[in-house]
Amino acid sequence: MSALLAAPLGWLGVAYLGSLAVLFVAAFWRLDPFTAEVIRDYSFSNFRTLWEGEVYRDIALRTIGIAALVTVIDAVVAFPIAFYMAKVASPRAKALLVVAVLMPLWASYLVKIYAWRIILQENGPLNWLLEPFGASGPGFGNVAGVIVFSYLWLPYMILPLYAGLERIPDSLLEASSDLGGKAGRTFRRVILPLAFPALVAGSIFTFSLTLGDYIAPQIVMAGNQFIGNVVYTNVGVANNLPLAAAFATVPIAVMVVYLLLARRAGAFESL
Amino acid sequence: MITAENAAHFPRVSKSPEPPDVRLQGVTKRFEDVLAVDELTLEIPRGSFFALLGPSGCGKTTTLRMIGGFEDPSEGRILLGDHDVTGLPSYKRDVNTVFQSYALFPHLDVFENVAFGLKRRKVAKAEIAKRAREMLAIVGLEGMDRRKPRQLSGGQQQRVALARALVNHPRVLLLDEPLGALDLKLRKQMQLELKRIQHEVGITFVHVTHDQEEAMTMADSIAVMSRGRIEQLGGPTELYERPRTAFVAGFLGVSNLLGGTVTTSGAVRVDGTGEIRVDAPLPPAGTRVQVGVRPEKLRLDDSAANSVSGTVVERAYIGVATQYVVDTPAGRLTVFVQSSGTAAEGDAVRVSWDPESTFVLEEAS
Ligand SMILES: Nc1ncnc2c1ncn2[C@@H]1O[C@H](COP(=O)(O)OP(=O)(O)OP(=O)(O)O)[C@@H](O)[C@H]1O
Ligand SMILES: [Mg+2]
């Protein structure tokens, strides 16, 4: 048994945690300004650069803010869909809906983002649709980013929510109604607390997937960068690995705090 | 305990000016091609302990769910008191349910579970606490307020479910096999406890069960159901001693049934032997009937008015009594004798019983 577990656990330890550790250590190195060589001594200079650079602060806040907004939007959109799938739909409709939710996951992520670029562009279908009403689409920018990310990660919110709602026995909903609870009260006092762990599970996906993305911003956000874009250019173009590593610790720290908060809220109690 | 007086209770109460707590009028429920409940008409008098008894799939749960408002009847009307509630959602009905699975809210503790219904009704906080504690005391769960359902035994969960429903003082309490998940000993204990609690709170209980002994121990009146219909309705004694159909006779314990024909002299000629006397109304002479006797009403001697001769083929000690199987010309009879008895396998014996212990079923069924 232990021999069986040793290989995967070893892989997890070395490849996964090991690379994180290297990243963390590299964040404290620095680049020689003249030779552009990496100097392996330890200082907080990278973090100071990031903290003091207004551009970096804006990028971090934009990344975290959009990730949070996308998570909220996905939760609000996914809940009724997941609820309908789990508690209302007939078995046949349920199977069809699961397929419908999974289907977009089979298409290339890149293709989906380009599809949205076409939808949102100046003379694209969205503006064409809105024109008769005297309105126009958001164009490329932060709003476009929110729309595209919400679309991309919606299945990752629906599926855990669906599984979580499915696990709530119908008899609990009947018991609430039996005790005088109308739909609203049953939702607040029974469904929401019981589906909360699933909601958190889904939000971990939507939040962390947005937090780590750097492709959609290049395609639909008109030069508005994410943390990932800065990391990418610093590794590839500027060749400043230490700064990239330092910036990469930001989303990791955010996720750690997020998971701790989720645990405080009791999200993992019933897992 | 159940007595003849309890059984007689039923018709008297239903004639009182107060409307029955529950009335079903021609209630039918179809699920696609399944006829679950078939034109059921039923009145449940105020304050009674009423049992719906029947084998699996006969429509007991469906009937209960229609009273509770979880299922709409395909046809017919449901009244609670004078109030027509057909089509009303469950949160608008003055009934509460103890679910078979208990359906306790796992994220709430015992106290919050019990207070769930009261909170919705905007009862003052102090009043909620008082009533919830009172009800927890009645069901014997003092001091467990802060436990979560998963920290309770099956019997304790069952009591919480009961308290959660009763604390709202509903007009009717519906119980769907509430003791089904408990072991035999606890089930027996809870049967008596439920009966005591019903006396204490004076609320009408409608209790669904497939266990005839449970229904007999607890209920004032029992509706025996089969295939979506009521086969017979009455007090436990009446149903046991005067079943009207072979189904009821068979469902409520062991019975010996003998085929025969009604004679002109008001007796029954049993096939294979002579005439026996019956202390019950009989159909016209010449009608084919079945006469029945419960095993414990049979004696292994010649002392009673009806008797047949036979041979012991089997003898078994079953704890409270000794069971004999006797072959007679009229058929095989099962006899329970209190004492250990002296007859042995192969002995020739006479089996006798009183006309009052004899019930008659029309054979048409
Ligand atoms: N939701 C449903 N859809 C289709 N058929 C159903 C449904 N609910 C019940 N039935 C059918 O209706 C009939 C009566 O079911 P019901 O649950 O009332 O039986 P029951 O007397 O409570 O049986 P048990 O003692 O097994 O609980 C059964 O044949 C059952 O298969
Ligand atoms: Mg049932």
Question: B103-123 pLDDT, tens per residue?
Answer: 999 999 999 999 999 988 888
| Count of structural domains within chain A | 1
Q: Which residue in chain B has the smallest CA separation from A190?
A: B105
Q: Are residues B286 and B183 in the same domain?
A: no
Q: What is the pLDDT of residues B159-197, one digit of tens each?
A: 999 999 999 999 999 999 998 888 888 889 889 989 999
Q: Are residues B74 and B192 in the same domain?
A: yes
Residue B148 belongs to a domain? no
Q: Does A181 touch chain B (CB under 8 A)?
A: yes
**Å between A97 CA and nearest CA of chain B:** 24
Q: Is B209 in the pocket of ligand 1 (CB under 6 A)?
A: no
Q: Does B106 touch chain A (CB under 8 A)?
A: yes
Read off the CATH number of the domain in which B206 is found. 3.40.50.300
- Rounded to the nearest angstrom, the gap between the alpha carbon of residue B41 and the centroid of all alpha carbons in its chain is 17
Residue A27 belongs to a domain? no
Strands B172-176 and B204-209 turn out to be parallel
Residue B364's pLDDT band (cuts 50, 70, 90):
low
A124 Cα–ligand 1 center, Å? 56
Domain edge (last residue) among B197, B213, B241: B241
Share of chain A above pLDDT 70, in %: 97
Read off the CATH number of the domain in which A121 is found. 1.10.3720.10
What's residue A44's pLDDT? 85
B48 Cα–ligand 1 center, Å? 25
- Asked whether residue B98 carries a pLDDT value surpassing 70, the answer given is yes
> What's the rounded mean pLDDT across residues B234-242?
92
CA–CA gap between residue B312 and residue B330 (Å, rounded)? 14
Task: Collect all residues of chain A within an 8 Å Cβ-Cβ radius of residue B90.
Answer: 174, 177-178
Q: Is B61 in the pocket of ligand 1 (CB under 6 A)?
A: yes
Nearest of A248, A251, A260 to residue A24 by alpha carbon: A248
Q: Are residues B221 and B285 in the same domain?
A: no
Q: Are residues B258 and B336 in the same domain?
A: yes
Residue A238 belongs to a domain? no
Give the torsion through C-alpha atoms of B342, B343, B345, B347, to 10 deg. 140
Share of chain B above pLDDT 70, in %: 94
Could you list the residue range(s) of the whole structural domain that residue A155 is in?
Answer: 62-232+250-270
| Count of structural domains within chain B | 2
Residue B122 belongs to a domain? no
Beta strand segments in B249-305, E: 256-262, 268-270, 275-276, 288-293
Residue B124 belongs to a domain? no
Read off the CATH number of the domain in which B347 is found. 2.40.50.140
Residue A4 belongs to a domain? no
Q: In ligand 1, which atom is closest to the CA atom of B225?
A: 21
What's residue A26's pLDDT? 87
Q: Does A171 touch chain B (CB under 8 A)?
A: yes
Residue A15 belongs to a domain? no
Domain edge (last residue) among B215, B241, B267: B241
Are the CB atoms for A26 and A241 separated by under 8 Å? Answer: yes
Residue B19's pLDDT band (cuts 50, 70, 90):
confident
Residue A36 belongs to a domain? no
Are the CB atoms for B246 and B365 separated by under 8 Å? Answer: yes
Residues 6+ apart with CB under 8 A from A24: A245, A249
> What's the rounded mean pLDDT across residues A65-81?
97
B117 vs A180: CB contact, 8 Å cut-off?
yes
Concatenating the DSSP letter of every residue in A208-256 gives HHHHT--SHHHHHSTT---HHHHHHHHHHTS--HHHHHHHHHHHHHHHH
Q: What is the pLDDT of residues A168-185, one digit of tens each?
A: 999 999 999 999 999 999
Q: What is the pLDDT of residues A16-62, one digit of tens each?
A: 888 888 888 888 888 877 777 788 888 888 888 888 888 899 999 99
Q: Are residues B310 and B263 in the same domain?
A: yes
Report the complex ipTM.
0.81
Lowest mean pLDDT among A54-58, B75-79, B231-235: A54-58
Could you list the residue range(s) of the whole structural domain that residue B181 is in?
Answer: 7-94+170-241
What's residue B13's pLDDT? 45
pLDDT greater at residue B254 or residue B23: B23
Q: What is the pLDDT of residues A194-246, one digit of tens each?
A: 999 899 999 999 999 999 999 999 999 988 999 989 888 888 777 788 888 89
Two tokens, residue A163: 């599984």
Please provide the average confidence, as pLDDT, over all residues in chain A.
89
**Å between A178 CA and nearest CA of chain B:** 5
What's residue B9's pLDDT? 40
Two tokens, residue B205: 């209980």
Q: Are residues B288 and B344 in the same domain?
A: yes
Q: A178, A182, A189, A191: which to substitute to probe chain B, counting the most B Cβ within 10 Å?
A: A178
